[in-house]
Chains A and B, each alone.
Chain A
Amino acid sequence: MNLADSERVSAVLEGMGYHKTDNEEEASLLGILACSVRQKPIDKVYNKIAQWNRWKDKRNLITFVSGCLLPADKDKFLKTFDLIFQMSELGQLPDMIREYGVVTPAGLKMRQPIMPKNEHIAAMWNIKPKYQSTYEAYVPIQNGCDKFCTFCAVPYTRGREVSRPSQEIVDEVRHLVNQGYKSITLLGQNVNSYGLDKNGEEITFAQLLRQIGEYGNTSDQEFWVYFTSPHPQDMNREVIEMIANYACLAKQIHLPMQSGDERVLLKMNRRHSMEKYRSIVEDIRELIPQATLFTDIIVGFTGEGEAEFQNTTAAFEEFKFNMAYIAMYSPRPGAASFRWEDEVSSDDKKDRLHRLSQTMKVYSLEYNKTLEGKTMRVLINGTDRKTGFMTGINEGRIIVRLDHHDDSLMGKIISVKITDAAFLSLSGEVVPA
């Protein structure tokens, strides 16, 4: 969500005449968009603002913080940041900056209810984002979360699930495709709960995918539409059928599992069983056998002993994930689990992270090896720092490295023959058009 948020913040600031810089030391306005799930990024905020406030002695500087902020964080940040606002209040940022005037560390607090108001969220969506890329874009389709996973503070920072009108989403996708965007990611905390908050007055997530898919069928552009993150509770066969049926819906599914142990899943209040997760993966394998499967995992959550961790490892062996974003559990103030003892030692967490990463590598490599010799479409999206050669991603979001450089190919989808496979990436050569 932070990427989509930052594109909208950029749009607002550029509308005020600010220009983006990668150099903090020359900036006159510096801001942070915070995260709700892990505490570490919040800790980094404190380090950053201490440095920025030292710079204020030497130059005129306004600082702000937004994103997923707990009321408790806000109270602390008030003492250090000049501006604090919820993303739903983004439309008021220009007024805040104008009214702020002279820079002091006094801070600015808005009186507001604990939860953001729906009309403010709608106003945020109407801000035309300043896309940071000319070929990859993120489209928010939903704000907030109703799931109350015990490790996460999103329901307390972004409020309950609110779906963006489907017409706006389809229009934004269409606009992006017409602008030449090749990779479009639909964003939300639980994308597949899309529409459910409207009690029948909005289409479902599967129907939204169908509309985008139908548009894709009429477009002469090649593009891939992804979504993240779905929650297993609301994932259904209809969504998977849509992905299978429409070419523009990317054959890659990111399905957070968090743990492979039933007891830990209950403790996390994930609201899905392993049986449910397994049935979704079986549907994916049946309907879209070529799809890559990504997941999120938290190791070292309260209540995860070695036996529970072994169940997660066994799930990796069963589902053979292509990629897993594995995080060591860190208690986040505001999340329910913060009240519990963080009983798994840091060493054990590191050990489990390492072991699970090794398991993932085995299956990732096994899959990547099956791609050797094949020709596939690859979106060129970067340059390898060491070699200077191009890199890209295939439709399944596996990194592809090329022994080639041609600036004109940046942001284009081209054909590549895979020559070699490593555990997290592929190597290939450009197939002449």
Chain B
Amino acid sequence: MSTAPLLQIRGLGVYYATAHGAVDAVNDLDLDLGAGECLGLVGESGSGKTAVLLAIMGLLSSQARLRGNIRYRGTELLGLGAPALNALRGARIAMVFQDPMSALNPYLRVIDQLSEVSRVHGGSSRRAAEQRALEMLESVQIGEPERRARQYPHQLSGGMRQRVMIAMALMAEPEIVLADEPTTALDVTVQAQILSLLQQVRARTGAALLLVTHDLGVVAQLADRVGVMRAGRLLELADCERLFASPRHAYTQTLLAALPKLELPA
């Protein structure tokens, strides 16, 4: 990265105070996300990868203690007041959640849910926001967008809901999209469709993608660079090809070796 990174994380720590002393979810993490880049963050459950996303979004519970810096274009995000943070969230930095079944409000039609993003940021008119929502539905390749837009989330399939989530994240043309295991809740064929959709979206909008997953296959397909996390620490950070070809850290080697291999019986 020759230019200054879009998102710069320095010495990030996330701690929870418990009766048995402090528990650290994330420990002294440094990470840069360049404009238009796709950075994958992999690790086992509890490695702290989701906590990083939540820290960026200011979604950690009030018990969490934070340390370090997260800068978006030079603006410190940690400790930023709610109004300033709300102006960024959704508009400049958006998020795609893991489970599209529970991340959509069951009482709002798809179009209302999408156009809300435009109406909150910049306060565009209802008509303009709905027009934009329809365009976004079309761009994430939902068939019959007009009809789907008038439906409620429970009337859509899982893959379609995840497409709606992606459309929602892209409503305000963010520079950074955070994706928290975007394919985990989907079955394999739909996963492939969603991954190729994310790839197209990135190519078209030029948004940077911070992808958190435990699925090495997803990372291999999408990411430019990959970070491997374990127990709250970033163990290895490397270009995607380099990491898969010659992993340096022992844990990364173990992780790669643990991948099931498809072999024909001899």
Whether chains A and B associate is: no
